[in-house]
Amino acid sequence: MKISQRWHWKAFWLSSALIVSLNCVAADPVSVQEIDSEPIQITFLNVGQGDAVLIRTPEGSTALIDAGPDELPNGLSNFDVEQIDLLVASHPHADHIGGMVSVMNTYPVGFYMDNGDTHTTATYRELMETLQQRTEITYLVAESRTIQLGGAEIQVLPLLPAGSTDLNNRSVGLVVRYGSFVAFLSGDSEIEELTHWVEQQVVPDVTLLKAPHHGSSNGFTRDFLENTQPEVVVISVGANTYGHPHSEAVQAYKTVSDTLLTTREHGPVTILGYLDGQYEIRSGGE
C-alpha cells in the first residue's frame, strides 16, 4: 500500500431538461463535512482483457463503469455491493459489455448510460433486449452533464458526433471528482477522441488515470498527458494478442506519473481517494 499527496428503444431516451432533475443518482448528496474522513473507492476489477471499474462513495452510492468480457469474477460480492446506482457502458465492444446482463440480473440497477452507438454482436443484442425488459432501469444519454453520485460528481465529457468515427473514439469519457481527488476514465478512447477533449479544454489535471484502450500506443497523446499529469495510472489488461500494453505507452505513463499498475500483474487495484487529494493504493485484493 502506498500513501501519497441498437437497438435503442425510443422509450429509453430522456430529454436533457428531464435529466437535470435526475442528477442525484442515489440518495441526496451528502455534505463534505459529513464525510471528510472517508475516501471514495475506485476499483479496477481484474477481468482479463477488458474493463470494469467500480466506484463507491463513502455513504454507499455505487457506479460500475463497464463490466468486462464475461460474468464478473464472483460477481461483486467481494466488494459488498448490494445495488448499482449508475451502470455505464463506455462503448459497445464485448470486452466492456460482456458482463452487463449478468450484473443486471444480479443487482438492482437505477440508471444505465451509454453513447447511443449500436453494434451487430449477439452480446450487444442481448444487452438491449434485457434493457427493453427492465423498464425500472432509467436510460441516460451520454452527453455533457454532471451526475451527482453521493458526495462525488461525475462529469460526462462531450462526444464526437455520432457516425463521425469508430466505436473506440466515441467511448464515454468521465471525470470523477471528490474534493481535490480527480480521476479520468475513458474506455477505449484513441488519439482522435483524446485530441478532441484537449481541444474542448475539458481535460483536467488528475490524480488517477485509467489508461485508455488497455495501454495501447494509440491510447495517449503528449498533449493529453501534459493536461492530465496523473499521479497514478492503472492499465486494465489481460493476456492478449494485441501486445497490450505497448512499450511506448508504458514509457509515457512512467514518465508523467509516480505509479503505474496493471490488473494483469497486480490483480484488482483499488485507489482510495480523499477530499484533500491524498490517496492510498491497494492491490491484489488487499
Question: What are 114-150's pLDDT values in tens digits?
Answer: 999 999 999 999 999 999 999 999 999 999 999 999 9
Reported as a single tens digit per residue, the pLDDT across 273-285 is 999 999 999 998 6
Q: In the predicted model, is pLDDT for residue 28 greater than 70?
A: no
Q: Indicate the average pLDDT of the chain.
A: 88
Task: Identify the pLDDT of residue 36.
Answer: 53
CA dist., res. 31 & res. 35, Å (int): 7
Structural domain including 16 reads 2-283
Helix (H, G, I), strand (E, B) or coil at 129: helix
- Single pTM value for the model: 0.88
Distances, alpha carbon 103 to alpha carbons 30, 49, 65, 72, 100, in Å: 26, 18, 12, 8, 5
| Mean pLDDT of the region 49-57 | 97
Q: What is the structure's pLDDT at 206? A: 98
Mean pLDDT along residues 155-167: 96
Radius of gyration of the chain (CA): 17
Size (the chain), residues: 286
Q: What does the alpha-carbon distance between residue 177 and residue 195 come to, in Å, rounded to a whole number? A: 22
Handedness of CA 219, 222, 223, 224 (dihedral sign): positive
- CATH label of the domain that carries residue 27: 3.60.15.10
| Four-point Cα dihedral 47, 218, 97, 10, nearest 10 | 160
The structural domain count of the chain equals 1
